[in-house]
Amino acid sequence: MCALDVSNESMFTSTSIPAASTSEVIPSYPPLSVITKYMIKSRQASESAWIFFTEDPTTSKPLVMKVLRPYSDTRYNLSCITERQHCQLEALQQNRIFTPEVYLGLARLYNQPSEENYILLGEIIQHPSLERLDQDAEYALIMEWLPEERRLDQLLKEDEYTVNGCLYKLISHIVSLHKHQTLSLTAEESAYWGGYPNLQRKLEENLAFLALVLDKVNSSSLKATIERLITGLHKIFTEEYYAPYLERRLQAGHIKHCHGDIKSLNIWIMPDDYQQHLSVKLLDAIDFNPLFRDIDTLSDFAMLVIDVQARTWPAEFARSIIDTYLQLTDQDDMPTRAILEFYLAEKAIISAAINILFDNELELGMRLLHLAEEYLDQLLHFWLYQPASDTPRLKP
């Protein structure tokens, strides 16, 4: 959903508002427009969007409504209505690939809810298209509400037995997703997005993004860490080292139209009505840039590993989900682990930069940088400190 994390409390301010809701037709609007009034129970604001927590005035079913704001940064451009409409439509389409039951549709906005205690919407369009949208109107993305206590970052605080059960269910779900549900790319698309030249350019962009952290945090030790990561990843990610392995990934069909942001703040693990089984719901898929979603399934998986490792201690959970995923996908071999190690380092620096620059999560960002250094050290050992005649092997 346009790279917005609706659950990261550090990004938002919340306001509680009385919960009564009514449904009514507003006569001042065109006669064919039936306007529903939803009372706002609470709201959250980031630079790029408003999130409104409401409920259906007829059924009292909790709902979440996202309205984009005029905004642009290095990740996306929401500066005009056309861009915002396209982003909302793309968000709905992308997220329905992974969790269709949560994303209900788009609805035209008829007021400025950021300044009022209610939101006025037209009918919820379940299957919208650009042709069906009013050219000059703002639209809200309508979602079902999911309980915060079932979000993965909260579940990771539970006892070891509970965490292991949730993670195994999650990894099984992602394996099935990558094997059967994630859309494949054409041979030409795969060669472009998964080939060495594009990944090398992407690394350069990510390292430049990481360097922006120094504009926000004035620290000599942090500067030394970032400079070491930049130098080390330049040294490691060479065509000589990685191009042959990446070509194998292309030929095996592992470059796909992935979720792109599988992390704990976007994952809910829900019990069924009888509390006997768990279901996984993945939210907030990347929709705003194919560079971040048309990727190797290992890259998609690496984001989850890094996030879990940064939020849990010691590292057994992360090692366990790596082994489980590779075994269940029949990929537990040296070339696969070599590529995964690089993606883990890359995801760690991206996540660190986002947490420090946008989420004001300095402590979490620093843990992620520490993980990036750990994976860089493993890559250095893997590529540089083995005799050339030997078959390289990763450290256990």
Q: How confident is the model at residue 385 (pLDDT cuts 50, 70, 90)?
A: low
Strands 62-68 and 49-55: antiparallel
Looking at the domain assignment, is residue 390 inside a domain? no
Q: How deeply is 71 buried, as exposed, middle or buried, from its count of CB atoms within 10 A (0-12, 13-18, 19+)?
A: middle
List pLDDT tens digits, range 84-103. 999 999 999 999 999 999 99
**CATH assignment of the domain containing 266:** 3.90.1200.10
> 288 or 26: whose pLDDT is higher?
288
Instruction: Note whether residue 392 is domain-resident.
Output: no
106 shares its domain with 23: yes
191-216 confidence digits (pLDDT tens): 999 999 999 999 999 999 999 999 99
Q: Which pair of structure tokens corresponds to residue 199?
A: 């990944």
Indicate whether 136 and 252 sit together in one domain: no
Share of the chain above pLDDT 70, in %: 87
Q: What's the domain range around 220?
A: 150-384
> What number is the average pLDDT over the span 276-298?
90
d(CA 38, CA 16): 14
pLDDT tens digits, one per residue of 138-169: 999 999 999 999 999 999 999 999 999 999 99
Same domain, 139 and 232: no
Q: Are residues 111 and 157 in the same domain?
A: no
Mapped onto helix, strand or coil, the DSSP state of residue 205 is: helix
Helix 334-357 to helix 196-211 angle (10° resolution) is 30
| pLDDT for res 314 | 77
Number of compact structural domains in the chain:
2
3 occurs within a structural domain: no
| Residue pair 193/295 in contact by the 8 Å Cβ criterion | yes
Is the domain of 122 the same as that of 237? no
